[in-house]
Chains A and B, each alone.
Chain A
Amino acid sequence: MASITFREIEGSSPRYWFLLGFIALFAALGLGAAYYMEHHGHIVTGMNNSIVWGTPHVFAVFLIVAASGALNVASIASVFGKVMYKPLAPLSALLAFSLLMGGLTVLMLDLGRPDRLIIAMTYYNLKSVFAWNVVLYTGFFSIVAVYIWTMMEKKMGGFSKAAGMAAFIWRLILTTGTGSIFGFLVARDAYNSALLAPMFIILSFAYGLAVYLLVLISAYTWSGRPLGDAVLKRLGRLLAVFVAAALYFVFVYHLTNLYFTKQHAVEHFILVSGGIYTTLFWVGQILIGGIVPLIILLNPTLRASRGLLVAACLMVVFGGLAQMYVTIIGGQAFPLDIFPGWEEKSAFFDGVVHHYAPSLPEVLLGLGGLAIALVMVTFGIKILRFMPDSLADAEIDPHAKA
C-alpha cells in the first residue's frame, strides 16, 4: 500500500460555507426548540404521563447507538489489523465522537430540568443504569479523544493499537449500557429482556456503518477527492452482514416473546394491531430498514451503483429511527398490566393504548442533535487531518479488484 497522506479539506468555497450554514441552521432550530420546551414545560410536546419518552429519545438513542457503531471502522483497523481500514479510521473516530455529542445534547435538553445537568454529573446512584451510562459516555469521549490523538500524532503512533483496543471494549460496554436502559425495565412487557443489550450492539454496527458511509461518500464527493470502489464495496458488504444480523436479532427477540404466552398481548400489539407502530415495524424497520437495503447490498449489479449504495444507507438510517420509535414509543403505548386477568379502566388511562403524536419542537430538537453531530464533523475535517487525500483503489489496495 502506498503511503497515505491525510490532509484537511480546504473548506473555503461558498458551497462549503453554505453546507455548514445549512446544517448549523438545524442545530440552531434544535436549540431554539429546546428553549421553547424548557420555558413552557413538556406540555408543548406530544409527550404525556403515559408516554414520557418521545421523539427526542428516538433521535437521542439512535445517535448514541450509531456513535458506538461508527467507531467500528477504526476498530477493524486497530484491533483486527485490517490494513485497508487504516486510512478510514480517523474519520470514523471523529464521527463517533460527534454522534455521541449530538445524541447526548438531545437527551440532556429533553430533561425536565436541563438546568440541573451539574446534578446529573455530581450525584450518582450507582444502582441506576442511567448513572452507569453517564460514566460510560464521559469515558467514551475521553478514550476516543486519546485514540484520535494516537492516530494523528506520529510520536504517539505506537499507542494506537492499545487505544483502539480500549475504545473497542469501551464501546461494547457502552452499547450494552444503552440496551440495558430498556432491557432492565422489568415492569414493561415490551422491554425486560437481556437480549436487548446484544441486539443494540448489532444495531449499532448497522446504524454506525450506514452513517459512516454516508459521511464518507458526501465528504469525498463534495471535496472532489478520489474515492475508489474498492473501499465502498468492502464497506457495503460489511453493512449487508450487519443488517442481516440485526434482522436475525429482531426475529429471535419476537420469536421468544411469541413463545411466552404472557407476552402474546404485547406482541399482537406491535406485530398486528398497533396501528402506526405496526406499520413502522413492518414497513419502516423490516422492509425499508432491512430487506430492501439487503437486496441492494447483496446484489453485485445493484451495489455497484453509488446512488443505490447511498439509498441503502439512508434506508438503514430511516429503518433505525423507525425501530427506535417502535421500541421506545410503541413499548410505552402498550398499557401496563397491573391486574392480570382483569379489564382495567380509570381516569389515568389504565388498560388502554396510550396516544402520542410528535410535536414540531420535539422533531426539531431531534434533528438538531443530528445537525450538531454533522457540524462537528464538517468543521472537524476542515481544521484537522481526518481524511486521506485519496481513497482511490490504487492507493488503498493496488491488488484490489473492485
Chain B
Amino acid sequence: MNDSQPSPNSSNEVDEHRRNFIGASAALAGLTVAPGVVVYGLAHAKPDNEPVTNKVRWGMLVDATKCADGCTDCVTACHTENAIQTGALETDPHWIRKVELKDMRTGRSQSLPVMCQHCEDAPCVDVCPTGASFKRADGIVLVDRHICIGCRYCVMACPYKARSFIHETLTDQNPDVPRGKGCVESCTMCVHRVDRGQQPACVEACSKAGHNAIIFGDLNDPTSDIAQRVAGHPTSQLRADLALNPGVRYEGL
C-alpha cells in the first residue's frame, strides 16, 4: 500500500484532468483521421501503407448501346495516361481498342472497347511460369515487371487479345506506369489512379465526352452504381463459356 495516497478530492481532480486530456486527444485524433475516413468513404482511396483488400472487387461495365460509333476517346485517354505510343504496326502495343462488330445474320453493327477483362480466374496468371502475371486482392490483374521474363505464354493464353509484348526500347514513359522492352503488359485498370481514389482514364474520358458508356466501381459493394447495374440489368461476359468471371462486363451486347 502506498502511504502517500492522495486525498479523495485530489484524486477526483486528477481524474478530471485525465478525462479532459483523453477527450481532447480523442477529438484531435478524430479531427486528424476524419478527412481521410471521409475521403476514403467517398472515393475508396487506399492509403499507401495499407494492403490491398479483397473486400473490394474493382470492375467496369461497358454499355455498348451508349458507346458512340467512331469515338475513340477512351483509347486516346489510355494512351496519354500510360504514355503508350501506338500506330498501325502489328508490333505496336494496345491496352484498349475499339472493336467494330457486325452481326453476321442481321447485319446490325455495334462498337465497343475491349481491354484486359481482369478475370477472377485469369488464364494469364495460371500459365505465367514465374508468377509475374498476378491478380491483386482487389481483382486487378497486373504484370510484375521485375520478374517477367518475356516468354509470352500469357499472350498465348489470353482469350481476349488483351496483352502486348514490347518489341523495342521505349521512351517518354510516365513514371507512374513503368514499362519496358522485352516484357509483356496490358491494361492495369489505371491502378495508379485507382489507388489515389481516381477513376481509370478511359472511364473519365468517356464521361467527359458525355457518353458515360463505361462505369467503374466496386462490384462487391451492393450500393455502388456498377453493382446495382449488374444486378438489375442483363449484362454479359466476353467468352462466358470459359467461366473466367471477368471484372469487365458488357451491357446491350
A142-150, A244-252, A341-349 - the one binding chain B? A341-349
Query: How would you classify the secondary structure of chain A's contact residues: helix, strand, loop or mixed?
Result: loop
A65-73, A126-134, A315-323 - the one binding chain B? A126-134
Residues of chain B with a CB closer than 8 A to A354's CB: 90
A42-50, A302-310, A368-376 - the one binding chain B? A42-50
Residues of chain A with a CB closer than 8 A to B155's CB: 49, 52
Q: From B151, which residue of chain A is reached at the shortest CB distance?
A: A111
| B99 lies within 8 A of A345 (CB) | yes
| A48 lies within 8 A of B90 (CB) | yes
**Cα distance, A336 to B148, chains bound together (Å):** 24
Residues of chain B with a CB closer than 8 A to A111's CB: 149-151, 182
Known: A49-B90, A50-B90. A336 touches B130 (CB 8 A): no
| A338 lies within 8 A of B168 (CB) | no
| B99 lies within 8 A of A350 (CB) | yes
| B165 lies within 8 A of A112 (CB) | yes
Complex interface bits, A110-124 against B, C-beta within 8 A gives 1, otherwise 0: 011110110110011
Known: A188-B156, A346-B99. A41 touches B166 (CB 8 A): yes
Q: Is residue B193 within 8 Å, beta carbon to beta carbon, of the partner chain? A: no
Residues of chain B with a CB closer than 8 A to A261's CB: none
Q: Is residue B55 within 8 Å, beta carbon to beta carbon, of the partner chain? A: no
| A112 lies within 8 A of B183 (CB) | yes
Q: Is residue B94 within 8 Å, beta carbon to beta carbon, of the partner chain? A: yes
Nearest Cβ in chain B — how far from A394, in angstroms?
Answer: 51
Nearest Cβ in chain A — how far from B62, in angstroms?
Answer: 13
Identify which of A43, A53, A338 contacts B160 (C-beta below 8 A).
A338
**Cα distance, A355 to B93, chains bound together (Å):** 16
Q: Is residue B83 within 8 Å, beta carbon to beta carbon, of the partner chain? A: no
Residues of chain A with a CB closer than 8 A to B182's CB: 38, 41-42, 111-113
**Cα distance, A152 to B75, chains bound together (Å):** 64
B28-36, B39-47, B101-109, B203-211 - the one binding chain A? B101-109
| B102 lies within 8 A of A343 (CB) | yes
| B242 lies within 8 A of A187 (CB) | yes
**Cα distance, A348 to B79, chains bound together (Å):** 14
The count of residues in chain A whose C-beta lies closer than 8 Å to any C-beta of chain B is: 50
Identify which of B75, B97, B110, B123 contacts A350 (C-beta below 8 A).
B97
Residues of chain A with a CB closer than 8 A to B152's CB: 52-53, 112
Residues of chain A with a CB closer than 8 A to B183's CB: 112-113
| A120 lies within 8 A of B157 (CB) | no
Nearest Cβ in chain B — how far from A356, in angstroms?
Answer: 9
Q: From B95, which residue of chain A is reached at the shortest CB distance?
A: A348
Q: Is residue B15 within 8 Å, beta carbon to beta carbon, of the partner chain? A: no
| A112 lies within 8 A of B166 (CB) | yes
**Cα distance, A187 to B161, chains bound together (Å):** 10
| B131 lies within 8 A of A129 (CB) | no
Nearest Cβ in chain A — how far from B2, in angstroms?
Answer: 62
| B98 lies within 8 A of A116 (CB) | no
Identify which of A117, A341, A346 contacts B97 (C-beta below 8 A).
A346
Nearest Cβ in chain A — how far from B169, in angstroms?
Answer: 6
Q: Is residue A185 within 8 Å, beta carbon to beta carbon, of the partner chain? A: yes
Q: Is residue B17 within 8 Å, beta carbon to beta carbon, of the partner chain? A: no
**Cα distance, A202 to B204, chains bound together (Å):** 55
Nearest Cβ in chain B — how far from A179, in angstroms?
Answer: 14
Identify which of B98, B100, B147, B242 contacts A123 (C-beta below 8 A).
B147
| A119 lies within 8 A of B167 (CB) | no
Identify which of B100, B128, B131, B132 contacts A345 (C-beta below 8 A).
B100
Residues of chain B with a CB closer than 8 A to A344's CB: 99-101
**Cα distance, A181 to B128, chains bound together (Å):** 11
**Cα distance, A181 to B182, chains bound together (Å):** 21
| A339 lies within 8 A of B168 (CB) | no
Residues of chain B with a CB closer than 8 A to A2's CB: none
Which residues of chain B from 158 to 177 have a CB within 8 Å of any chain A CB? 158-161, 163-169
Nearest Cβ in chain B — how far from A30, in angstroms?
Answer: 19
| B151 lies within 8 A of A130 (CB) | yes
| A128 lies within 8 A of B98 (CB) | no
Nearest Cβ in chain A — how far from B179, in angstroms?
Answer: 12
**Cα distance, A48 to B148, chains bound together (Å):** 18
**Cα distance, A52 to B127, chains bound together (Å):** 15
Q: Is residue A1 within 8 Å, beta carbon to beta carbon, of the partner chain? A: no
Q: Is residue B1 within 8 Å, beta carbon to beta carbon, of the partner chain? A: no
**Cα distance, A48 to B105, chains bound together (Å):** 32
Nearest Cβ in chain B — how far from A201, in angstroms?
Answer: 21
With A53-B152, A336-B159, A345-B101 known, 20 other A-B pairs at CB within 8 A are A41-B181, A42-B91, A48-B91, A49-B91, A49-B93, A112-B152, A116-B150, A123-B130, A123-B147, A125-B129, A129-B127, A130-B151, A185-B157, A187-B157, A187-B239, A342-B101, A342-B104, A344-B99, A345-B99, A347-B94
A-B contact pairs, 6 of them (CB 8 A): A41-B182, A125-B130, A128-B153, A336-B159, A338-B159, A338-B238
Query: Could you tell me which A residues sit within 8 Å of B by CB distance?
Result: 38, 40-43, 47-50, 52-53, 111-114, 116-117, 119-120, 123-125, 127-131, 134, 181, 184-188, 332, 336, 338-339, 341-350, 354-355
Task: List 9 A-B pairs, minimum CB-CB distance, nearest first.
Answer: A112-B150, A112-B182, A187-B159, A48-B90, A130-B129, A52-B152, A123-B130, A125-B131, A43-B167
